[in-house]
């Protein structure tokens, strides 16, 4: 029987893992959960209206340090509430105003450097929001 921690999202068929691909390490499962926390809009999760950062809600706002500070604060708050075993070390943003040749308008690149406290590991999550 295949061994894994959780289904890998998006669901894809994989005969090696069974019906669907699986996250096989805690680091993979935690990265997936962190990504879901950041992409879920507040009010989107049933019975938990406070869950989520809603990063896509910021997509058409101006690319200013004030907006980035607001996103950063929301990420840190949500991780502290729902994933207290993760420590966010740094969050970096790249937008078209930072790199107009390589980054199209209305796209935000977010890089989150974080530590998984119980495992003592440092990880990086890259997100492209378009």
- The gap from C-alpha 84 to its chain's centroid, in whole angstroms, comes to 15
Contact present, 21 and 7 (Cβ < 8 Å) = yes
CA-CA-CA-CA torsion sign (27, 128, 108, 83): negative
pLDDT tens string 32-53 = 999 999 999 999 999 999 999 9
pLDDT value at residue 4: 86
Count of alpha carbons within 13 angstroms of residue 27, beta-carbon side: 9
Top-level class of domain 6-129: alpha beta
Name the nearest CA neighbour of 83 among 24, 44, 43, 123: 123
pLDDT value at residue 48: 93
Low-confidence ranges of the chain (pLDDT < 70): 1-2, 96-98, 100, 103
pLDDT value at residue 28: 95
Count of alpha carbons within 13 angstroms of residue 101, beta-carbon side: 0
pLDDT value at residue 61: 81
pLDDT value at residue 130: 80
């Amino acid at each position: 029987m295949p061994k894994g921690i959780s289904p890998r999202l998006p669901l894809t068929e994989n005969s090696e893992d069974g019906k669907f691909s699986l996250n096989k390490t805690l680091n993979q499962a935690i990265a997936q959960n962190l990504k879901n926390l950041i992409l879920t809009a507040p009010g989107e999760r049933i019975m938990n209206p406070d869950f989520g950062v809603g990063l896509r809600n910021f997509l058409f706002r101006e690319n200013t340090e004030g907006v980035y500070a607001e996103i950063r604060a929301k990420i840190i708050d949500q991780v502290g509430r729902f994933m207290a075993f993760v420590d966010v070390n740094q969050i970096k943003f790249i937008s078209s105003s930072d790199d107009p040749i390589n980054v199209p308008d209305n796209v935000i690149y977010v890089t989150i450097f974080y530590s998984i406290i119980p495992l003592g590991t440092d990880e990086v999550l890259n997100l492209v929001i378009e």
